[in-house]
Amino acid sequence: MSWFPIVSSVLAVLFPVGGAAAIRTGWILPFQRRRVHRPELFGWAQPVMAVAFGGRAAPR
């Protein structure tokens, strides 16, 4: 079994959680704070990335 679907599935679950926190409260993970200037836009991009990772993890 390849580890690619597992990693993609984990990221597809974790990204929306961080995105919701960024949208709702403006909170960003500490190691990303210097690079992120607009937390709300960053927060909306996280669920979009989660959909992409979820599509990658789906069986073909």
Q: Which tokens in the block code for residue 16?
A: 């929306």
For the chain, the structural domain boundaries read 4-57
- pTM of the full structure: 0.74
For the beta carbon of residue 17, count every other beta carbon within 10 angstroms.
12
Predicted local confidence at residue 59, as pLDDT: 75
Closest CA to 41 of 29, 53, 23: 23
Residue 54 pLDDT exceeds 90: no
Please provide the size of the chain in residues: 60
Buried b (16+ CB within 10 A) or exposed e, 27-40: ebeeeeeeeeeebe
Mean pLDDT of 23-38: 92
